[in-house]
Amino acid sequence: MQKNRGILTVVSGFSGAGKGTIMKELLLSYPDRYALSISATTRDPRPYERDGVEYFFKTEEEFRQMIADNELIEYAQYVGHYYGTPRDYVERQLSAGKDVILEIEIQGALKIREACPDAILLFITPPSAAELGRRLFGRGTETEEVIRSRLTRALSEADGVDAYDYLVVNDVVEDCVHEVHGIIQNEHSRMHRNLERIAMLQEELREFVSA
Ligand code: 5GP
């Protein structure tokens, strides 16, 4: 039987909500099921980040060229830098039947909702604001000023969450990974995603009946 197209899932959440950890664990747990899109960005790499692994690191000029060449499904500015999703990889993985995860901020998520109405939008929060602050300061990779702008941004993003389909609270990582996996896999059973399969079954039944 023909392989079903994968589901596009957008995962957003405040900086420090632990999205990155959850996505890494999800991919480690189900490597054949999921593909994580690698974004392009104009921000500087953090010490542990490698080009082509966490992000494709671009100059502003290179990024603008990608926009001009229509190479990005969506892009947005976040705390002074550009971030965008390369189209080609996402399309290829969805066609190969993989569920593709985009870990992007809210403006990008809303653009995906318009461009791909079939996508699922998931919002991940930490259990509390105090925990969010602790995680951001504990990470030790950004200056206090950058952390404050990220917390301010979190405050404004909280206003847009009603556009999302699901809320997942990240308290215990394994539980959160389990929950996210369950949400995405349940989506495969939704009737509107299976109409083609039903039509094929009907076709086969017709052949049986008329044989
Ligand atoms: P960070 O600098 O912490 O890696 O990412 C900052 C924010 O940009 C996060 O909320 C992250 O989800 C978001 N982001 C990462 N890649 C993309 C992308 O391709 N498009 C959009 N719109 N946001 C992204």
Could you please report the per-residue DSSP string of 75-144?
A: EEEETTEEEEEEHHHHHHHHHTTPEEEEE--HHHHHHHHHH-TT-EEEEEE-S-HHHHHHHHHHH-SS-H
Pair of tokens at residue 113: 């909702």
Please, what is the angle between helix 144-157 and helix 129-139, to 10°? 150
Reported as a single tens digit per residue, the pLDDT across 118-143 is 999 999 998 888 888 887 778 777 88
Query: Which atom of ligand 1 lies nearest, measured to the CA of 107?
Result: 22
Q: Does the structure show a pLDDT above 60 at 13?
A: yes
Nearest-CA residue for ligand 1 atom 19 is 84
* Type and span of the H or E element at 150: helix 144-157
**Which structure tokens are listed for 9?**
């899932």
Measured in residues, the chain has a length of 211
User: Average pLDDT in the 53-57 region?
Assistant: 95
pLDDT (0 to 100) of residue 2: 53
Question: How remote is the CA of residue 189 from the centroid of ligand 1, in Å?
Answer: 30
Cβ atoms within 10 Å, residue 106: 24
Mean pLDDT of the chain: 92
**Ligand 1 pocket residue status of 82, Cβ below 6 Å:** no
CB atoms closer than 10 angstroms to residue 12: 24
Q: Locate the ligand 1 atom nearest the alpha carbon of residue 84 and give its number.
A: 19
Written as one letter, the residue type at 65 is Q
Beta bridge partners of 123: 12, 167
pTM: 0.88
Cβ of 84 below 6 Å from ligand 1: yes
Q: What is the reported pLDDT for 134?
A: 83
Is 83 near ligand 1, meaning CB less than 6 Å away? Answer: yes
CB 81 within 8 A of CB 42: yes
**78 within ligand 1 shell (Cβ under 6 A):** yes
Tell me the per-residue pLDDT of 60-87, one tens digit each, with 9 for 90 and over: 999 999 999 999 999 999 989 999 999 9
